[in-house]
Amino acid sequence: MAVHVRFGLPLERVVRISRPRFWAYEAGTFAIGVMLALRPLDYPLLHVTPLMLVFLFYFIFPANLLIYGVNDIYDYETDRLNPKKAEYEALVLPHEHRPLLQWIAVCTFPFLLLLVYASQQAILAFAVFLFCAIFYSAWPIRAKVRPVLDTVFSAGHYVATGVFGYYLAGGSEVNWLIVLAGMFWSMAMHAYSAVPDIEADKTSGIATVATLLGERPTLFFCLALYLTAAALAMSQLGALAGVLGMIYAGLVIASIFARTPEDLFRYYTYFPLLNLAVGFFIFLTLSVLMRYSWF
């Protein structure tokens, strides 16, 4: 009750705003970055430190509250016209904006203090995460209403999270092919997620990469990005990257040939489950399976 009175929003409401079905995106990217740094060590999971675990928690809940909370505050005027926001996500009403900002501040500030234990490269990566996460939705940049820039900012905060995890775990030389693969994968994820919102965004006057290209061209754009990301990731994951790329390609191709908007939206709802499964498998591969010569 005390939390409810002080911050104006109950915890369960705040959790819903943070989109639990998407928690694995940021947390998984962070974990993969950590494993890329620890992979050369024997039994890399044994080298995970308390600081890494603390920031893993940050990227599970507080980071997502920041991303989606800022988004919901700045998107209210358009979100109220989109049925998906009220039914599938969380429509944040104007009287909730101030207490939501208080929650975001309280959940973010302690982790900023912990950056004193991180390297300069890690701090820079975290700063890039914050910049992309906030100004994807917030003015004066509000990248989400600027086609192409919207995909770059959305991908930027995911990739910055992975790079932060890599440096926090003691990594020294980033593989920029992997970073580029992560950018392409994240850009594809963002563009694909924007497709179900095309009509609502057009009605609201919002320009996105999906409204710019149209439904099918956007899906073909996603297909090209996923296949390119898989090709680049093969430098680290070998043939596994190609297999995973084909799985995503299959989902996008199914979406291209969806007969109705309802069918397309159904495929979209499978997307978080696929990301969760693939992200866990990549993490497992980097932390355990690659130690076996048969893999």
The residue extents of the domains of the chain are 10-291
d(CA 110, CA 26): 18
d(CA 217, CA 256): 9
d(CA 112, CA 90): 27
267-179-273 Cα angle (round to 5): 20
The dotted CATH code for 10-291 is 1.20.120.1780
CB count in 10 Å sphere of residue 93: 11
pLDDT for residue 40: 86
Peptide bond into 10 cis (omega under 30): no
pLDDT for residue 86: 57
Sign for the CA dihedral angle at 209, 164, 24, 239 comes to positive
pLDDT for residue 199: 87
Q: Which residues touch 203 (CB under 8 Å, ≥6 apart)?
A: 81
Tens digit of pLDDT at every position of the chain (295 positions): 444 445 689 999 999 999 998 999 999 999 999 999 998 888 899 999 999 999 999 999 999 999 999 999 998 877 776 666 655 567 888 999 999 999 999 999 999 999 999 999 999 999 999 999 999 999 999 999 999 999 999 999 999 999 999 999 999 989 999 999 999 999 999 999 999 989 888 887 889 999 999 999 999 999 999 999 999 998 777 888 899 999 999 999 999 999 898 999 899 889 888 999 999 988 988 888 655 443 4
pLDDT for residue 188: 97
pLDDT for residue 180: 95
pLDDT for residue 146: 95
Question: Helical H runs in the chain?
Answer: 2-7, 11-17, 23-38, 50-60, 62-74, 76-79, 83-87, 97-114, 120-135, 149-168, 176-194, 198-204, 209-213, 215-237, 239-256, 261-287
pLDDT for residue 74: 92
Terminal-residue alpha carbon distance, the chain: 52
Instruction: Report pTM.
Output: 0.90
- According to DSSP, residue 208 is labeled -
